[in-house]
Amino acid sequence: MLREVAADALSSLLPVDERERVEAYILRDAGHGTDVFGLDPRGLKVGYGLAYWFHEHYFRVRSVGHEHIPSEGAGVVVANHSGVLPYDGMMIAADVFRRRVPPRLVRYMVDFFVYRMPFLGLFFRSIGQIPGTRGNFDGLVGEGHLVGIFPEGAKALAKRPEDRYQLRNFSHGHVELAARHGAPVIPAGVVGAEEQLDMVADIRPLARAFGLPNFPLATTLVFPKPVRYYIRYGAPLHIGPAVLT
């Protein structure tokens, strides 16, 4: 009941064309009102209602290269990661959803610690984001979804101000998986997220106690500064299986 009220309230704040965009998204109902990965229409309304406001009014996102994102079929969106909290993932997802016709939802591979946190894991599932396992990746790509990956991992969120725009080492799993499926890799560059929150400390004892990769302390706690985001999508990389041998 509460989710329905929240979904209706946030959906009513969207412009008419954006409400129609949400309604136009094709959800393959697995028989329980959600798709097989847990995406719930009400969750989509809540998630997109929040993301749209941040995208349009708060971060005022400017983006180019949308033509590189396939309008159908599988793809892997790979981007740099930063900003203490993953608003950058929210902004990429909102941007792709807004700019592609028909609307496409980026389904992120999310670290497991999120699903150990009360309510948060359920919410992430309801908006289409799932634990980062090979089986989930295979399932999403097999059904023709866009999969979102931050190859630097959650550790990239804990950059100090002096390390801004310095990439952490990439994991290479997304390259192997994309190659095995023949799915294009769409590189994305994000500018702006590095400045949204200034981390002053990483409290390691609390991180270990809660099973988190880091426990950042930021100057403005959890609410970011209204920096402007810039996103650029590059031409798809088609990585053949030959690179794996």
- pLDDT score at 7: 67
Over the chain, what HEC string results? CHHHHHHHHHHHCCCHHHHHHHHHCCCCCCCCCCCCCCCCHHHHHHHHHHHHHHHHHHCCCEEECHHHCCCCCCEEEEECCCCCCCHHHHHHHHHHHHHCCCCCCEEEEECHHHHHCCCHHHHHHHCCCEECCHHHHHHHHHCCCEEEECCCCHHHHHCCHHHCCCCCCCCCHHHHHHHHHCCCEEEEEEECHHHCCCEEEECHHHHHHHCCCCCEEECCCCCCCCCCCEEEECCCECCCHHHHC
Q: Which range among 12-21, 91-100, 146-155, 171-180 shows the weakest confidence by mean pLDDT? A: 171-180
CATH code, domain carrying 233: 3.40.1130
Domain holding 115, by residue range, is 2-244
Digit-coded pLDDT (tens) for 127-165:
888 888 888 999 999 999 999 999 988 888 888 778 888
- pLDDT score at 14: 87
Digit-coded pLDDT (tens) for 156-204:
888 877 888 888 888 777 778 888 888 999 999 999 999 998 877 777 7
Q: Quick one: what percent of the chain has pLDDT higher than 90? A: 44
Q: What is the pTM of this model?
A: 0.90
Q: How many domains does the chain have?
A: 1
Q: What average pLDDT is seen over the chain?
A: 86
